[in-house]
Chain A
Amino acid sequence: MKLKTNGDARASLLIPEVRRFGRFLLSEMKPKGEMLTPFNIFAALVLSVAAVLLTIRFTQGLESTTNLSQDFPWGIWIGFDVITGVAFAGGAYVVTFMVYILRLEKYHPIVRMTVLNGFLAYVFYAGALLFDLGRPWKVVNPIIGNSFGVSSVMFLVAWHFMLYMIAEFIEFSPAIAEWLGWKRIRKVLGGLTLGAVIFGITLSTLHQSGLGALFLMAKNKIHPLWYSEFIPILFFVSSIFAGLSMVIFEGSISQRVFRNQVDPKHHASHDDIVLGLAKVCAGTMYVYFFLKVLVFVHGQHWTHIYTPYGWWFLVEIVGFVLIPVRLFTQAVRFRTLSLIRLAAALTLIGIVLNRLNVSIIAYKWYALDRYIPSWMELEITLAVIVAEIVVLRWIVNRMPILREPPEWAQERPDVIRRTRFLVKEGATEHGR
């Protein structure tokens, strides 16, 4: 009897609480700002066309929407969406490394946005992978354990995608807790961050390189200028500056688009952050360029340089690695932000080229019938990007991503450090 009243009491407390929460969620679900903006109309159009196309794809098979063939089993859904997209999402592990492992506090203001971007990139690109899988209803097979293909690089990549998404979600989760006002949970989640970061960096190292390792067995199919046993290392190193360039690029956009969200302090520090990132980009790009040259010399590919593929190779290496790295260096020296943005954009194009070269353009370079993506493949790729942006916008407008976290969850280690220092000093003085 007593128990029951107790339960009733609790329920009577709980119900309004749940109601309040429900109302909060509902109000947050509503779009903020104007509905009929050009971007929204564009997004709605792209997404609805994609929905139709995907229905066709899943009812009629891949042939109905893609230009894939027996010679080219992987098209842009893999080569661009997954392989390039994941390289672009590399910023998350690099920035968390800088902030949580090296403790470079300067970069703290961009952690959340970067992690959120990385997380969404994985969610959407993994989603795109499902469109490409011929038999997506079997996707759980390598996970549930009745058929572990442990000798497969793909197995590794699939598992790492999944685990990394979890790690990134944990890294990001404090923002959700702050949004919902869950103080106690926020505390617990915050405590998990360092572990998730370490796990996430490890996973990233492995699957960024793993995406390159996928092509190791295609030795006789990829043009010698792009095939090398060092593809995994090249993919890994390039993911560092690919990710950071994306952070720079995306940052310069979101600083404008989400102006109302960015607090002025962050605004001021943003330039400094970008300069720092540009430095890291330049450094890793030099390493990458050096590795590329080394691989080239080691492979003795001189003769290939005087062929169309050789020129194409030079376009990638000179035009989109050497030139942007020079730009980065110049820009850092003269602190020219616009030049950094240009360099970042060129770098991103270079990464697209490189990933598409390995996975599509230099793949079966001897084949007469080339693969050229159909407009439907491009449309769906666009839809994946648009969908990501829509979700990103929804989250940024609601959770403390760009703006400061609420008072109760402030992480201000610099302030704390200073006050503790003062306290310590005070103590000694007092003792004296």
Chain B
Amino acid sequence: MNRRNFVKSLGGLGTAALIPDKALAEDPAKPKEFVGILVDTTRCIGCRSCEIACAEAHGFPDPDSDPNVFERERSPSTTQWSVVNRYETRKGEVYAKKQCMHCNQPACAAACLTKAMLKTEEGPVIWREDKCMGCRFCMISCPFDVPKFEYESPVPKIQKCNLCWDRLKEGKEPACVEACPAEAIKFGSRRDLIEMGRAQIAKEPDTYIHQIYGENEAGGGSYLYLSGVPFGQLGFRTDLDNIPYPELSKDYLYAVPVILTLWPAFLLALSNATKKDDERRPYETQNER
């Protein structure tokens, strides 16, 4: 869809030069695909193995093992990039894992004035400590409210899922995918995963609702979800626009260079027009003749 445009614009921003690591590219000639993850919520058994694996892989403390954690809906936090929630639905209890959606055109990255938030060419959206100045504009902008800030720290970081960027570079799968005993989480190229999801829905049209969450929401992203119940019942935002969120401020940003060039010219002309006959020289110097 907007992929090609996106890659082009990324190239234009010089992002390509910032990522020397091409570990994921099997064939440089082949146009690159975003990687992604397909979560089948009908398969998830709520064992939270992915949570534990995630914490381990990124050096966080073990998540709370108390089964009562399901009593309330959790969001990802500064010490947990990925959380599993339980939802009561008309099809019984359903578990859904929540984390960064790795948008195709992320609002967080468009918001970031230091490019600390970065959409990599491979798909994961990563945060880079050495760049971030902690303005938290990414948090304001992310339609899924994913980035979290360490308010308790004098040297705070932004915390959010990076799709196991380091593991990917080593050629491994994301930790949660590897840990899932129910094969509810699949890793692959985003395009393939969408095909797979569609095929799955077509195969069992009564089991699934006919929508892949994350295919179009906020312009689509690397995280894709299948579900047996409407996504609103699983705590997903269903009021988001199906456009990449950076589009929302694009018109404004396009207007900037126009104003920046036309405005001074206009002001100068106006200032000359209001000049009295005997004020040929710029205003401030005239009295120093």
Where the two chains meet, the residues of A that have a C-beta atom closer than 8 Å to any C-beta of B are 58-64, 66, 68-71, 73-74, 97, 100-103, 132-136, 138-139, 141-142, 147-156, 158, 174, 187, 190-194, 197-199, 201-202, 205-206, 209-210, 213-221, 229, 232, 410-413, 416-417, 420-421
Q: Which residues of B62-86 have CB atoms within 8 Å of chain A's CB atoms? A: 75, 77
A300 CB to nearest chain B CB (Å): 16
B143 at the A interface (CB under 8 A) = yes
Q: Which residues of B contact A190 (CB under 8 A)?
A: 284-285, 288
Measured CA separation A138–B116 after assembly (Å): 11
Q: A63-B152, A194-B271 are in contact. Are A217 and B111 (CB under 8 A)?
A: yes
Contact A149 B113 (CB under 8 A): yes
In the complex the two chains form, is B274's CB within 8 Å of A101's CB? yes
Chain A residues lying within 8 Å of B246, measured Cβ to Cβ, are: 151, 217
A425 to chain B minimum Cβ distance, whole angstroms, is: 12
- Contact indicator B152/A61 (Cβ below 8 Å): yes
Q: A411's closest neighbor in chain B, by CB?
A: B287
Apart from A68-B151, A219-B241, list 10 A-B contacts with CB within 8 A: A62-B151, A103-B276, A133-B135, A151-B253, A155-B113, A190-B284, A191-B282, A206-B259, A213-B249, A413-B279
Q: Chain B residues near A155: list those with CB within 8 A.
A: 113
Contact between chains at B274 and A219 (CB < 8 Å):
no
- Closest residue of chain B to A367 (Cβ to Cβ) is B145
Number of B positions contacting A (CB below 8 A): 66
Secondary structure call for the A interface: helix
Distance between A219 CB and nearest chain B CB, rounded to angstroms: 6
Residues of A with C-beta under 8 A to B75: 70
Q: Which residues in B have some Cβ–Cβ distance to A below 8 Å?
A: 13, 75, 77, 107, 109-116, 130-137, 139-141, 143, 145, 148-156, 237, 239-241, 245-246, 248-249, 251-253, 256, 259-260, 263-264, 267-268, 270-271, 274-276, 278-279, 282-288
Task: Output the least CB separation between A172 and chain B (Å).
Answer: 13
Contacts of B139 in A (CB 8 A): 70, 73
Question: In the bound complex, what is the Cα–Cα distance between A410 and B263 (angstroms)?
Answer: 30
Complex Cα distance, B246 from A198, in Å, reads 30
User: What 5 pairs across the A-B complex have the smallest Cβ distances?
Assistant: A134-B134, A135-B134, A155-B113, A73-B136, A63-B151
Tell me if B253 and A148 are in contact (CB < 8 A): no
Are A153 and B134 neighbours in the complex by a CB distance under 8 Å? no
Of all chain B residues, the one with the shortest Cβ separation from A222 is: B140
Contacts A155-B113, A205-B259, A229-B248 given: A199-B264 contact, CB under 8 Å? yes
Distance A149 CA – B128 CA, assembled complex (angstroms):
13
Contact B137 A202 (CB under 8 A): no
Q: Is the CB of B151 within 8 A of A217?
A: no
A contact residues around B271 at 8 Å (CB): 100-101, 103, 194, 198
Tell me if A58 and B111 are in contact (CB < 8 A).
no
Contact with B154, one of A60, A151, A217 (Cβ below 8 angstroms):
A60
With CB as the reference atom, state the residue of chain A lying closest to B18. A147
Q: Which residues on B sit within 8 Å (CB–CB) of A192? A: 284
Partner among B77, B240, B270 whose Cβ is within 8 Å of the Cβ of A70 = B77
Q: Is the CB of A191 within 8 A of B285?
A: yes
Contact A214 B140, beta carbon cutoff 8 Å = yes
Shortest C-beta distance, A34 to chain B (Å), equals: 37
Write out the residue numbers on chain A whose beta carbons fall within 8 Å of the beta carbon of B252: 153, 209-210, 213, 216, 232
Task: Choose from A134, A147, A219, A420 the contact partner of B114 (Cβ within 8 Å).
Answer: A147
Chosen A-B contacts, 10 in total, with CB atoms closer than 8 Å, are: A74-B136, A97-B267, A136-B134, A152-B111, A156-B253, A193-B284, A198-B268, A217-B110, A232-B252, A421-B278
Evaluate contact between A215 and B279: CB separation under 8 angstroms.
no
Asked whether A151 lies within 8 Å of B152 as measured between CB atoms, the reply is no
Residues of B contacting A152 in the complex (Cβ-Cβ under 8 angstroms): 110-113, 137
Q: Are A59 and B154 in contact (CB under 8 A)?
A: yes
**Bound Cα distance A136, B132 (Å):** 9
Please give, as numbers and ranges, the residues of chain B lying within 8 Å of A220 by CB-CB distance: 143, 237, 239-241
Q: Please tell me if the beta carbons of B136 and A134 are within 8 angstroms of each other in the complex.
A: yes
User: Once the chains are docked, how many angstroms separate the CA of A121 from the CA of B121?
Assistant: 42
Nearest-Cβ distance from residue A52 to partner chain B, whole angstroms: 16
A205 B140 Cβ-Cβ under 8 A = no
Min CB distance B74 to A, Å, is 11
CB pair A217 B140 closer than 8 Å = yes
Interface pair B248/A219, CB less than 8 Å apart: yes
Q: Of B114, B136, B264, B275, which contacts A138 at CB under 8 A?
A: B114
Q: Give bound CA distance, A28 to B112, whole Å.
A: 44
Q: Tell me the bound Cα distance from A323 to B112 in angstroms.
A: 39
Question: A413 — which chain B residues lie within 8 A by C-beta?
Answer: 279, 283, 286-287
User: CB-CB < 8 A to A153: which residues of B?
Assistant: 111, 249, 252-253
A417 to B289, CA, bound (A): 12
Q: What's the Cα separation between A21 and B139 when bound, in Å?
A: 51
A193 to chain B, nearest CB (A): 4
**Nearest A residue to B289 by beta-carbon distance?**
A416
Q: Which residues of A contact B263 (CB under 8 A)?
A: 201-202, 205
Pick from B141, B239, B286: contact of A416, CB under 8 Å: B286
Contacts of A60 in B (CB 8 A): 152, 154
Name the one of B115, B153, B248, B278 contacting A217, with C-beta atoms under 8 angstroms: B248
Max count, chain A CB within 10 A of own CB: residue among B154, B155, B245, B251: B154
Instruction: Please tell me if the beta carbons of A194 and B151 are within 8 angstroms of each other in the complex.
Output: no
